[in-house]
Amino acid sequence: MISILVCDDSLVARKQVAKCLPSDWDVAVHFAKNGQEAIAGLKQGKGQLLLLDLNMPVMDGYETLQTIREHNLSTQVIVISGDIQPEAYERVMQLGALGFIHKPVDPATLAKELIKLKLMNEAADGESRVILDADIRDCYQEITNIAMGQAGDHLARTMNVFVHLPIPNVNIIEASEMHMMLSDIEAQEEVSAICQGFIGSGICGEVLCILSDSSFEDVAKILDVKDKVDDQLQLELLMDAASILIGTLLSGLAQQLDVTFAQGQPLVLGQHRAITDILQGSKMQWKRTLAIELSYGLEGYNVRCDLIILFTEESMHTMNTKLAHLLEDL
Amino acid sequence: MQGSEQDDMQGFHWMMDMLQTVDVGIVVLDKSFRVKVWNGFMESHSGLRPSQVHGKSLFALFPHINEAWFAKKAKPVFELKTRAFMTWEQRPYLFKFYNYRPITGSEPHMYQNITLAPLTSTSGHTEHISMMVYDMTEIASGKKQLEAMQVTNEEQLERQSSR
């Protein structure tokens, strides 16, 4: 059995990479959220193969490769990144990576890479389930990117901070995977979360805004709040941040889909809870959902904020029709 | 004079904008229950544009609404100019709408409180009524959960005392 370590700060990206692994491959899959966790995992022998993202907080991919070399850790590394600049490729190869795959990863490409490295036989089945048409996924990613750019601009203006724009992760998630997806965001720390529903023109869904509890001090600093940050104020900060993030993102998406969304009142899902508890008590009424996940970071601050946009399955059909139209125009 | 007219126009424009965006459904119906006004809330939640519903009978648009029952509810509003109410406890919903939490919520549809109010014309007659649709889902779901807990609690107590 081969042990595989998937290292990416985005939960859906980790999930997606794991899903792309050949289905009949006898492996143990472990996860890490950043380079530091990956190094710790490698030292415990958890990664004969390391699938490594480049842009991550705490310790990025380059530093991770450097550390692996310095500590002479035995592992084979394939980099999976959205950074497709030639220089990125050259740098990671120089640092000892054996392969470089562009995001979003798909089963066929990953299988090819694994065969090249002789980690897997050619006969093995490289096909796992195809979850979303690549063009449509691209479309979702792109419209989210544009909406996010606007959201980032608003944030930068109102808060005077530099926003690292995350790459949106687009995936279809089964009801049974929901808890897993959440626990992947933040397993250790307690979080506060709110959700806000939206609906319009046959498209509906919710946005979850999840802020880790250690972020509040810095959020208060950014919003220039000088009072003592107690529970009440934390909630206010969360609401303020979420209103800006969700509001701009939704209006950006609506504009591109040429629809208008009605927004419900935001709802507090929970404060200072383990992330998997925030959805406790909800009986899932749906089978699968389109999830777009965004992890925000602010330069110079310890702020960790995740936005997850969840569309219902019915909405997906409507949106696919709208997006298919976009594709035809190209 | 012109200034105040402009103010009136602007005020009217604001009112229209607010009616359009308020998180309450607003519908105007005539005596034969044909739709005359359909605001943004109704459009978003039903997926039907104002142009698709204007002048059409409410019962043709939503066949699951019982015409005789609804007419009976509306009768005193037209004739006595009183308000009529339907609460989610008596009837979970009039319009089968999605609620705002299709993913994390536990309810498959929107619970609604409905108010029917008379609209009096300049001649003093009530030829039209307005219908307001309030989203009660969060309250309904909270109350249902609370009641379920009370029942379990009582059952537990009964079991303990019968031991």
Task: Name the B residues in 52-91 with CB < 8 Å from any A CB.
Answer: none
Of residues A12, A88, A76, A82, the one with CA closest to residue A50: A76
Tokens of A200: 């319009």
Residues B86-105 pLDDT 10s:
999 989 999 999 888 888 88
- Work out the pLDDT band at B29, boundaries 50, 70, 90: very high
All residues at 6 or more sequence positions from B127 whose CB lies less than 8 Å from its CB, including other chains: B30, B31, B119, B121
B135/A206 Cβ within 8 A:
no
Is residue A171 within 8 Å of residue A293, measured between CB atoms?
Answer: yes
All residues at 6 or more sequence positions from A227 whose CB lies less than 8 Å from its CB, including other chains: A220, A233
Q: Which of A205, A267, A289 sits opposite B138 (nearest CB)?
A: A267
- Work out the pLDDT band at A127, boundaries 50, 70, 90: very low
User: Mutation test of the interface with chain B: which of A174, A178, A182, A199, choosing the one with the most B Cβ atoms within 10 A?
Assistant: A199
Query: What's the CA gap between A304 and B104, in Å, rounded?
Result: 22
- Work out the pLDDT band at A130, boundaries 50, 70, 90: very low
Residue identified by tokens 């007419």 is B71
Mean local confidence (pLDDT), A294-308: 82
Say whether residue B142 is in contact with chain A using an 8 A CB cutoff.
no
Least confident of A162-166, A234-238, B67-71: A162-166
User: Mutation test of the interface with chain A: which of B103, B106, B111, B136, choosing the one with the most A Cβ atoms within 10 A?
Assistant: B103
B138/A205 Cβ within 8 A:
no
Q: Which of A195, A264, A310 sits opposite B23 (nearest CB)?
A: A264
Q: Which of B40, B41, B102 sits opposite A206 (nearest CB)?
A: B102
What is the predicted pLDDT for the residue at A129? 38
Chain A: residues touching B (Cβ < 8 Å): 195-202, 204-206, 208, 260-265, 267, 269, 279, 281-283, 285-286, 289, 310, 312
Give CA torsion, residues A43, A44, A46, A49, to 10 deg: 20
Three-class SS string for B80-134?
HCCCEEECCCCCCCCCCCCCCCCCCCCCCCCCEEEEEEEEECCCCCEEEEEEEEE
Give bridge partners of residue B127 from the DSSP assignment: none
All residues at 6 or more sequence positions from A124 whose CB lies less than 8 Å from its CB, including other chains: A22, A24, A25, A111
Mean pLDDT taken over chain B = 91
Describe chain A by its helix, strand, coil percentages, rounded to 5.
45, 25, 30
Query: What's the CA gap between A131 and A140, in Å, rounded?
Result: 14
Of residues A50, A305, A23, A17, the one with CA closest to residue A171: A17
Q: Which of B44, B101, B104 sits opposite A200 (nearest CB)?
A: B44
B40/A260 Cβ within 8 A:
yes
Percent of chain A scored above 90 by pLDDT?
12
On chain A, the residues whose CB falls within 8 A of the CB of B40 are 260, 262
Q: Strand A203-212 and strand A49-52: pairing? A: unpaired
- Is ipTM strictly over 0.85? no
If one compares A176 and A195, the residue with the highest pLDDT of the two is A195
pTM given for the model: 0.66
Of residues A59, A68, A57, the one with CA closest to residue A95: A68
- Work out the pLDDT band at B30, boundaries 50, 70, 90: very high
